[in-house]
Amino acid sequence: MLSDKTVRNHMGGILDKLNVTNRVEAATYAIRHDIANYRHSKRQTVPENYDI
């Protein structure tokens, strides 16, 4: 299990390397540079077998 501090440190390093200030900017950067794919899902309901 990763501690919150470990995750914050890694995220900080990633944000610094991408020269962005937050996760939204990082996601936008990744999509614009074809690092990540974005597919809009039209499904807005929870699957029947999903335990809430």
**pLDDT per residue as tens digits for the range 5-47:** 999 999 999 999 999 999 999 999 998 998 887 776 565 566 6
Domain limits at 25? 1-36
1 is a domain residue: yes
18 is a domain residue: yes
The encoded tokens of residue 43 equal 């499904």
Q: What is the pLDDT of residue 37?
A: 76
Q: What is the pLDDT of residue 18?
A: 96
Q: What is the pLDDT of residue 47?
A: 64
51 is a domain residue: no
CA angle (27 as vertex; 32, 23 as ends), nearest 5: 145
16 is a domain residue: yes
CA distance 18 to 6: 19
Q: What is the pLDDT of residue 39?
A: 72
